[in-house]
Amino acid sequence: MFLHKQLPCPALQSYIEQIWVFESSTGIPPGDLALIVPNGMLKMIIPYKSAISSSRIGFADTHRESSIILIGQMDTPATIVSEGNCGSIGIEFKPFAAYRFFQVAMHELTNKVLTLETILGKAGRQLQEVVANETKVHRKIALTEQFLLRQLQVLNKEDVIVDYAAQQIFTNNGLITMEELSRKLGYTRRYLDIRFAQCMGLNPKTLAAVSRFQLFYKAYNQREVIHFFGKDLYDYYYDQSHFIKEFKRFTGFSPTRYARQDNAFGRIFYKS
């Protein structure tokens, strides 16, 4: 398996966290969990070589080669499977940025995997055709970036309340109470929940939980050995039971059971 990460073009760097290209001559290894956990970022995936299948609680989909799909904000885990010689482009939007590019309420995408054509109609279909006809991976990326820049300029969407609130959540590594967040902003929790549903797809409390979990999960995947219940745990969680509950929510496994699984595909995205 090969994964290459790159920054987007300068004009998109404030909105897109990273772009990656994944390739494998043999697909995702049999027996691998192929687990994708919530990370607070909407994803655009372009399987340019071979179809991919995705599954999450209660749903399973297959996406043909050269389709363009969006994976909305998640608060449950998903799996991605591709067989044989495969290749995919991934674009991950920063948590407070995705709503700027799509004329749809973000809660309509939460825990869903949809084609760009389903969301944008003709415009999504046209981009899919243009990208499919390009043979070079770097050109596929460039064409997609050009499309996103046009979307950004045409829609011209901004919600300063949501943007500031999300930045507060991530700046504090998810360790901010909703009462404190509400007090800082001067808005009720109910009002923030409504704004977040429109622009984020997750409410502030869930986004904070995802942010906190990701810090621990990233640290775990960047180390060869880790003790789940060591002192590092308390940098992220108030107590052990709280940690176990959230870990199972976002991975589908208890920490000890997860440690026995092979998740090489999922871990590769956290390597430097």
Are both 226 and 262 inside the same structural domain? yes
Global pTM reads 0.92
The tokens for 229 are 């219940």
Instruction: Provide the pLDDT for residue 165.
Output: 96
Alpha helix segments (H runs only) across 186-263: 189-199, 204-221, 240-251, 255-259
Q: Please tell me whether residues 75 and 203 are part of one structural domain.
A: no
Residues 81 and 130 in one domain: yes
* Contact between residue 54 and residue 24 where contact means Cβ atoms under 8 Å apart: no
Nearest Cα neighbor of 59 from 71, 51, 47 is 71
Quick one: 258 and 236 in the same domain?
Answer: yes
Which residue, 122, 155, 188, sits at the end of a domain? 155
pLDDT tens-digit series, residues 59-96: 888 999 999 999 999 999 998 888 889 999 999 999 88
142 lies in the same domain as 54:
yes
95 and 167 belong to one structural domain = no
Choosing from 155, 175, 193, the residue where a domain stops is: 155
**Tell me, what DSSP letter sits at residue 225?**
-
> Which residue would you say has higher pLDDT here, 34 or 132?
132
pLDDT for the residue numbered 231: 64
> In angstroms, rounded to a whole number, what is the distance separating the alpha carbons of residues 11 and 149?
8
- Whether residues 36 and 102 share a domain: the answer is yes
DSSP sequence for 36-66? E---S--EEEEEEES-EEEEETTEEEEE-TT
Q: At what angle do helices 160-171 and 204-221 cross, to 10 degrees?
A: 40
Confidence at residue 265, expressed as pLDDT on a 0 to 100 scale: 85
Q: Looking at the predicted structure, is the pLDDT value of residue 128 above 90?
A: yes
Q: Are residues 140 and 220 in the same domain?
A: no
**Residues 25, 95 within the same domain:** yes
Question: Which residues span the domain enclosing 119?
Answer: 2-155
Q: What is the pLDDT of residues 137-174, one digit of tens each?
A: 999 999 999 999 999 999 999 999 999 999 999 999 89
Residues 149 and 200 in one domain: no
Look at the chain and report how many structural domains it folds into. Answer: 2
Q: What is the CATH number of the domain that holds 13?
A: 2.60.120.10
Residue 101 gets which letter from DSSP? T
Domain's final residue, options 114, 130, 155: 155
Residues 186 and 171 both lie in one domain: yes
CATH number at residue 168: 1.10.10
Instruction: Return the C-alpha torsion angle 101, 107, 110, 113, nearest 10.
Output: -50
Q: Do 149 and 30 lie in a common domain?
A: yes
Average pLDDT over residues 215-237: 71
